[in-house]
Structure 1
């Protein structure tokens, strides 16, 4: 059975059974009818996935892997902050009339900084360092830039990625690992979406620099289930679990900026029915 399912079920059960509630507190999110959107939450959730074992897609329901990849490409490859460059509509709520979400996500990845080696934006510096100093402990991206928060239509949720290379004796190639830091997560709407996104990003970067994609460690400061999601979650985690799908990339692509969603290959994805009409707090 999918290890991602087991991790997800255990996390949800822990939040529901042992979490704390924000009911009655002053909260920013609200529902479409204007009422406050309260949560049950756990602090400091850490989930670990190993891509050498399997791809971490839920089988309890389908995660739209190509759409998830498209958002990753929007941020880290296209370095865009305009929803017109994105195929899905998940960011529509936070875009202005021109489609811009402010100085967020892809905008920050595309900002260039000066280094002794030259001028690089964040993603290009990651690729440069992985090729030239792969065992550096300074290879990361960060979109939570305090000076620009007032010009972001939504503060970044998943905001920091740290890359770390390991190599055991006898390994033919180094292994590329990743830590994803997230300040806040709507578990029902976004958990496996984010996990699969960054698993795909890890795979793309590893293939670009000739490494093996290894562990994805997902740190969530505030992992929460909204009050109107609890019953949906209970039903979801009670479903049958299936084997993880086989997910790979077109092996002919070795340029990070050449990947498209057509290069994501998904086989044997057996899953439960989709959860429709999820209410989203804004």
Structure 2
């Protein structure tokens, strides 16, 4: 049984049974087809932990689009792009302007350079520098929730901060890369496992290019919510029987983060239940 499925089922059950219903309150999202408010049931402060050394956390209750997940994470962290023309899916189309830009968000923030004692770095290059040169630093982190640029973002970042922390393998002394993703808001049906898969892949990539093994990935969600129209879908989804987790493969030849492509990581024996179709998306 996939551990990611177990986490997902428990999280959804807790939200449905114990969550706060925002119906009737002032909310920003709307349903595109009716322009009516998109209300949610939510839990505050959800923390999920995944041991990447034991299992890759892809749902089997329904398939997660692995290649598109990887393509988007590389679009943000490797290409450092904020233009959907550099992306091979249409998930950002709703928030792009006529030129394809989503504003000063995501990849734009990763690519902004800041001055450190050692010189000028953007956020991902600084992470790689610290992991290679000062792995036990407690300051290896990123933050793309830049308040001074929020007014120029077509959507405020949901997954906004990564913190990396290195521990040692007690058996062989090798270095282990652990990571924490902080997320202000998470649409559980459409985006939860998508984000988990993305940042698990990113952790694997960084561990490999920095000569480390993977450890824990911790996902911290401030507002974990299920939209009102998604409740029946979630209830049906979590009744499904979890299958075995897939195996994760990463091209061992890649030693530079900027050499990774979507074809350098794969899920092997990824067996899932049927996809859920026609999921309404709030905007």
**Both proteins in one fold, TM over 0.5:** yes
Displacement after TM superposition at 1:168 (Å): 3.6
Q: Which position in structure 2 is the counterpart of 1:228?
A: 229
- Written as runs of structure 1 = structure 2, the 5 A alignment for 1:91-240 is 91-240=92-241
User: TM-score, normalising length from structure 2?
Assistant: 0.99
Displacement after TM superposition at 1:66 (Å): 1.2
Q: Which position in structure 2 is the counterpart of 1:37?
A: 38
Q: Which position in structure 1 is the counterpart of 2:19?
A: 19
Aligned length: 282
What is the DSSP-based 3-state SS (H/G/I as helix, E as strand, rest coil) of the residue aligned with 1:27?
coil
Q: Which position in structure 2 is the counterpart of 1:2?
A: 2
Q: Which position in structure 1 is the counterpart of 2:76?
A: 75
- Aligned counterparts of 1:271 and 1:189: Cα–Cα separation in 2: 16
Displacement after TM superposition at 1:172 (Å): 4.2
Displacement after TM superposition at 1:169 (Å): 3.1
Displacement after TM superposition at 1:57 (Å): 0.2
- Aligned counterparts of 1:266 and 1:185: Cα–Cα separation in 2: 24
- Aligned counterparts of 2:16 and 2:90: Cα–Cα separation in 1: 29
Displacement after TM superposition at 1:266 (Å): 1.6
Structure 1 position 255 matched with structure 2 position 263? no
Kindly provide the CA deviation profile for residues 25-79 of structure 1, in whole angstroms up to 9, marking residues without a partner as x.
0110000211110000000000000001100000000011111011000000000
- Gapped runs of 5+ residues in structure 2? none
Q: Which position in structure 2 is the counterpart of 1:246?
A: 247
- Aligned counterparts of 1:260 and 1:214: Cα–Cα separation in 2: 23
User: TM-score, normalising length from structure 1?
Assistant: 0.99
Displacement after TM superposition at 1:171 (Å): 2.7
Displacement after TM superposition at 1:125 (Å): 0.4
- Aligned counterparts of 1:272 and 1:170: Cα–Cα separation in 2: 38
- Aligned counterparts of 1:52 and 1:61: Cα–Cα separation in 2: 23
Root mean square deviation of aligned Cα: 0.7
What is the DSSP-based 3-state SS (H/G/I as helix, E as strand, rest coil) of the residue aligned with 2:71?
helix
- Aligned counterparts of 1:41 and 1:160: Cα–Cα separation in 2: 21
- Aligned counterparts of 2:37 and 2:265: Cα–Cα separation in 1: 39
- Aligned counterparts of 1:243 and 1:169: Cα–Cα separation in 2: 28
What is the DSSP-based 3-state SS (H/G/I as helix, E as strand, rest coil) of the residue aligned with 2:237?
helix
Q: Name segments (4+ residues, structure 1) moved above 3 Å.
A: none
- Aligned counterparts of 1:171 and 1:112: Cα–Cα separation in 2: 37
Q: Which position in structure 2 is the counterpart of 1:66?
A: 67
Displacement after TM superposition at 1:222 (Å): 0.2
